[in-house]
Amino acid sequence: MTRSGVNIKFVIHHFGAILLLEGIFMILDDLISLYYDPLHVTILLSSTVVTLGAGGFFFLSTKNATQSYSDRETFLIVTGGWVLISLFGTLPYLFTGYIPSFTDAFFETMSGFTTTGASILNNIEGLSKGVLFWRSETHWIGGIGIIVIFITIFNFISNNNVHQLFSSEFSNVTGQKLFPKVIQVTKVLLIIYVSFTVLETYLLMQGGMNFFDSVCHSFGTIATGGFSTKNNSIEGFSPYIQYVIMFFMMLSGANFNLYIALFSKRKNIFKDEELRLYLFFIFLIGSIITLILFFKMHYDFEYSFRTAFFQVISIITATGFTSTDYLQWPEYAWILLIFLMFIGASSSSTGGGIKVIRVLIAGKYIKNLFKKASHPNLVSVIKYNGKPIPSQVIRRVLAFIVLYLLIAIGSAFLLMVDHVSATTSFGSVLTCMGGVGPGLELTGPASNFHALPDFSKWVLAFDMLVGRLEIFSVLVIFVPDFWRS
């Protein structure tokens, strides 16, 4: 069954498989609720039953769907799949009554799956353990990507067809491959992802954090999400715990392909230009803010260092955990954090933003333009890690940056039309597109997104999706030619 060249039956079949996967993850919340809050388990179980039921119906009713993996089906499966899991992900909030508004529930769920960490909840500690775990679990699922997990577990798609699915969700700007088969990559990525989660959980427990909080904060850290189980995020935890979370945020903001290369002994990862620039941004801006806090705010040096680097790492990796209200710092300090919101983490990481590699390539392109202006006959090739960058990659990078800025400006304008102040509007859009979490003014680290009008929340939810799927996968389905045979 097709519509305008799109194999709808095939797409629905995949939607069913994705919902089944989401329902399986929901079973974990039922078990957590059974252990901690037995009175809530029936309500959460109903969310699981509805999700599994819908997934099973979609999957089984289209089991004879013809295999058809054109770009149309790929983009619809990825974008539609993310919207669908967010719709069904609202059920635990709605059924328990913790978030009675569908708009708020969808915003919270989309924020979870896209690892944004922006919240509308005013009393996080008032949630049941089962709902808290689901909230953190959406981060963990979204961090590695529902499609990546789907490819790895179900594994019924041929390798020739799976590459576009994988690359639509897990950014790889230069297109370089470490393994010939995507299935190999997804399995190794998932092993690394789980290993980091287990290791951080263990280290947090060594610092005195209980098992439940350790798992939830590990989910939020490794996914660079930022949902905490505490109202004041990480502020109330010990310096040891803050340092552990800082370390794993920094690991998660780096390119995961480098870990594959490291473990397979394929190259010296510290020669990677993106990694070096990523670490340079952290060191430079972290050091500047440390000095600002030490000399201007008169904090002791260790606290200045820890607080500055925690916020810098949290912002550049788009995690969004906070250890202080950075809006209380001098303006020139938190403006540096806004710059990091814009830059974002590394490509092929769980972090958001424009990505360091795009900034690096754009910088090389601009430098090359100045060289040619001074020496018109100069033949200069732009390289990344010693290899020439194809011209189509450079064009795509520049187009991405322009689109990113246009969407950010347009979204901020819509929020201002909805009677939101300019500072709050731009801060909210940047943090949602970048997947960071806290914004500025009304949506700063000491507040949240609850007070925003419903229309603004829907705009920001769209920004979260566009930011997580890196624009093209989402916007392409709104192009008329996409639907033509």
Structure-derived torsion over alpha carbons of residues 249, 253, 257, 262, reported in degrees to the nearest 10: -50
Query: Mean pLDDT score of the chain, rounded to an integer?
Result: 88
Residues in the chain: 485
Q: Would you state the pLDDT for residue 175?
A: 56
Q: Quickly count: other Cβ atoms within 10 Å of residue 135's Cβ.
A: 29
Instruction: Give mean pLDDT, residues 100-120.
Output: 96
Q: For residue range 142-170, what is the model confidence (pLDDT) as tens digits?
A: 888 776 776 666 554 444 455 555 555 55
Instruction: Give mean pLDDT, residues 280-294.
Output: 97
- Provide CB contacts within 8 A for 162, sequence distance 6+: 151, 182, 183
β pairing state of 6-7 and 383-384: unpaired
Q: Would you state the pLDDT for residue 69?
A: 64
Q: For residue range 194-214, what is the model confidence (pLDDT) as tens digits?
A: 999 999 999 999 999 999 999
403 pLDDT tier (thresholds 50, 70, 90): very high
Q: Residue holding tokens 């629905």?
A: 12
- Provide CB contacts within 8 A for 280, sequence distance 6+: none
Among residues 445, 454, 459, the alpha carbon closest in space to that of 226 is found at: 445
